[in-house]
Amino acid sequence: MNENKSENFFSIQFVSNMTGINPHTIRAWEKRYGATKPVRDKNGRRLYSNEEVHRLSLLQKLVNHGNNISDIAELSEAELETVLERYKLTSPTSVAQVHKENINTEEILANIKMSLNFFKLDVLAHELQKASVSLTGESFINLIILPTIAEVRVLRTDERLEYSKREQIYLILKSTLVKKMSVNTSLPSDAKRILVASPIGQLNELGAMAAAILFQSLGLQVDFLGGNVSANSVGALNKHFNADFIFLGLNYSNDTILSQAKKEEYLEELAEGVDVSTRVLVGAFDFCFKLPTENMQCFSDFKDLGSYFSKNSIQ
């Protein structure tokens, strides 16, 4: 791989998180159809440039609208963008705007809660997908995902949902959220940038993913790093991304694996690696933390988080 300090390269897992394409599918598109041409690091691992991430995002959008990858894999980036623009397929939200008034979110949420209580995963996946396609990102998060996460917390606290079942529910939720996330290629060049991550804890990661979708709907350029990310890694990557904001999903799970003291220690470590000009937003579920620096701010729910950006210019 030729060194080029002006170029950014990303791992296949990061690309998967950003585009919603399974890593196995990304590799298959490359091998079978030559859809993408990653470079390799010294250990042979695939690395993707900004252009490759953009190209994969375009391909995914066209596939989601019914195209076979074999028919579009060889099209240039310009040709892919032309097709998307010609038929106004730039975002699944165009479909959501048509159908969102015809969907009964209360009924969907009731079905989801039933599926959780009786462990009907087929019902859960179906209802989540129906809501995801029919609702805008912000509505999907506030009306469906957050109440679903809250229900999982209740069932876990009441010991009505053992770990193995929670794991399966978590993976279905994560899969749905990954599909809902997309790379927004229509943002202005000066759009504010936010880095989103979470430490260890499954619900922490789900909270971070939900926040990423909310931020996209608000017009922010989102770089989603995933879950189980160390404070040192967040700080180091922020120097690379030079983000305006950092969001941490830090209190969506009260698992003993990450105690209150560990969470506060995480924030202290992050404060040491982040410049004070970067605003750090901490997502908390039911209470806020003791924050080590003035550039950190705590939010107890998503409504407060949305209000923060409505009061602060993000363009």
CATH classification at residue 116: 1.10.1240
pLDDT score, position 16: 79
- Residue 155 covered by a domain: yes
* Domain endpoint, select from 32, 60, 90: 90
- Residue 50 covered by a domain: yes
- Residue 1 covered by a domain: no
CATH classification at residue 258: 3.40.50.280
pLDDT score, position 295: 93
pLDDT score, position 133: 84
* Domain endpoint, select from 155, 180, 205: 180
pLDDT score, position 94: 34
CA distances for 153 relative to 25, 31, 161, angstroms? 32, 42, 9
pLDDT score, position 312: 63
Instruction: Answer for the pair 201, 154: CB distance below 8 angstroms, yes or no.
Output: no
pLDDT score, position 240: 85
Domain that holds residue 128: 95-180
pLDDT score, position 91: 44
pLDDT score, position 8: 72
- Residue 304 covered by a domain: yes
Check whether residue 226 and residue 277 sit in a common domain: yes
pLDDT score, position 311: 67
Residues 6+ apart with CB under 8 A from 178: 16, 17, 20, 209
* Domain endpoint, select from 128, 146, 180: 180
Average pLDDT, the chain: 83
pLDDT score, position 254: 55
CA distances for 266 relative to 192, 229, 246, angstroms? 25, 10, 14
Please count the structural domains in the chain: 3
Q: Which residue has the tokens 């585009």?
A: 19
What does the alpha-carbon distance between residue 140 and residue 155 come to, in Å, rounded to a whole number? 22
Q: Which residue has the tokens 């350029």?
A: 221
In the numeric block, which tokens belong to residue 230? 């160390």
What does the alpha-carbon distance between residue 305 and residue 22 come to, in Å, rounded to a whole number? 30
pTM above 0.75, yes or no: no
Enumerate residue ranges in the chain where pLDDT < 70. 1-7, 87-102, 183-189, 252-257, 286-287, 311-315
Residues 6+ apart with CB under 8 A from 308: 281, 297, 299
44 backbone φψ class: left, alpha, beta (φ>0; ψ -120 to 50):
left
